[in-house]
Amino acid sequence: MATPNYGYEKRQKELAKKRKKEEKLKAKAGRKIGEGDAPAQDEPATPADGVKDAAP
């Protein structure tokens, strides 16, 4: 029977933690930069190109 490689598992956990932290910081920085530039969230969505009204 093979023995578990605890060092590998620990390294993978550390890498996942680091990746999650970096993504969180990147998202936070993006929100901070886009505070004044981003349009309001409540704006109505425009229809996609090529979408026509239901009436013929």
pLDDT tens for the 56 residues of the chain, in order? 889 999 999 999 999 999 999 999 999 999 988 765 555 556 556 656 665 555 55
pLDDT at 33: 81
Report residue 53 as tokens: 């009204």
Tell me which residue of 18, 22, 20 sits closest to 10, measured CA to CA.
18
Distance of alpha carbon 2 from alpha carbon 38, whole angstroms? 54
Q: What is the pTM (predicted TM-score) of this model?
A: 0.50
């890498």: which residue's tokens?
Answer: 15
- Tell me the C-alpha distance between 24 and 40, whole Å: 22
